[in-house]
Structure 1
Amino acid sequence: MVEDGDKRTVSGVLVKVLVHRRDDRGMRLEEFASRCVRQGEVHELVTTDHGVGDPSIDRVGFLGFTEIAHGGVIDRGDEVHIGGRYVGTVLGFDSCHFPNHYNILIHRDAPVTGRQIELTPESAVHFVQSGQST
């Protein structure tokens, strides 16, 4: 059964670039495949090479914080684009800092930091439903 229909792209701007990585972070992937985000909320973007079945998310690279400009629903599998560049796909969410913010976990081949991929504040951030264009 198909549960998901089309949706709008959730967008925002990068408000802070992060430059650190960890191999022992111990984040926990929430069981939920989607989260609603509101305009004005700030959430942390974290890259990892871990997968959905991993009990602990240890290898991470921190990209930065994004302020949500247009709220909506972020789903596991959404493509993440920052500054017009593809960064990875949403793996899921860690809520260790919630309600302050979610850690939005982004899957890619290897974790990277915001500095490593030369992110800058005010860069556009888009969470795009898989199969749609930015």
Structure 2
Amino acid sequence: MNPGEDGAKRIVRGRLVKVLTHRRHDRGMTLEGFTSRCVRRGEVHELVTTDHTETAAGARIDRVGFLGFVEIGCGGVIDRGDEVWAGGRRVGTVLGFDACHVPNHYNILVSVPEPLTGPGLGLAPEAEVRFAQGEPS
């Protein structure tokens, strides 16, 4: 663990419960102003990749690839900049959150060079997902 602005934290772990296969170029998600979100064990959230880099609150996120839904295995905090690992591979870093489906789930936006899908990463149900503190900026 690397101590960040607010100190060290645990790795948030989970398991993929559904693999998603599609991409969109006109999704219209909106980046929340929050740089972190607390998650509880048992919650299910959606992992969405994007090549957008804007981090201002309200930024529109159109180009996306959907990885899947992850069930959180332990409570914790997911922060912008956390490394996202799925199926043993580093996918990217947390860009932020879109709340269009809250209270059902958050879209956790993952910054990548090019939007990816679950099958593109060879993901399958039960694949381990981790959110680990990244290098402090």
Q: TM-score range by the shorter chain?
A: over 0.9
- Quote the offset at 1:131 in angstroms: 3.6
Matched, 1:49 2:51: yes
Alignment correspondent of 2:107: 103
Which runs of structure 2 are paired with 1:21-32 in the superposition (5 Å)? 21-32=23-34
- Quote the offset at 1:60 in angstroms: 0.1
Matched, 1:64 2:65: no
User: Which stretch has the larger CA shift, 111-120 or 34-43?
Assistant: 111-120
- For 2:103 and 2:59, the matched residues in 1 are separated by 22
Alignment correspondent of 2:15: 13
- For 2:75, give the aligned amino acid: G
- Quote the offset at 1:115 in angstroms: 1.0
Deviations 1:98-119 (CA, angstroms, capped at 9, x unpaired): 0000000000100011011110
The alignment yields a C-alpha RMSD, in angstroms, of: 1.4
- For 2:82 and 2:14, the matched residues in 1 are separated by 15
- For 1:10, give the aligned amino acid: V
- Quote the offset at 1:45 in angstroms: 0.1
Q: Secondary structure at the match of 2:10?
A: coil
- For 1:75, give the aligned amino acid: D
Deviations 1:61-96 (CA, angstroms, capped at 9, x unpaired): 000000000110000000000111100000000000
Alignment correspondent of 2:90: 86
- For 2:120 and 2:9, the matched residues in 1 are separated by 31
Runs of 4+ in 1 over 2 A off after TM superposition: none
- Percent identical across equivalent pairs? 67
Report the count of equivalent residues.
Answer: 131
Q: Secondary structure at the match of 2:59?
A: coil
Calculate the TM-score normalised by the size of structure 1: 0.94
- For 1:98 and 1:8, the matched residues in 2 are separated by 24
Alignment correspondent of 2:78: 74
Extract unaligned runs of 5+ from structure 1. Answer: none
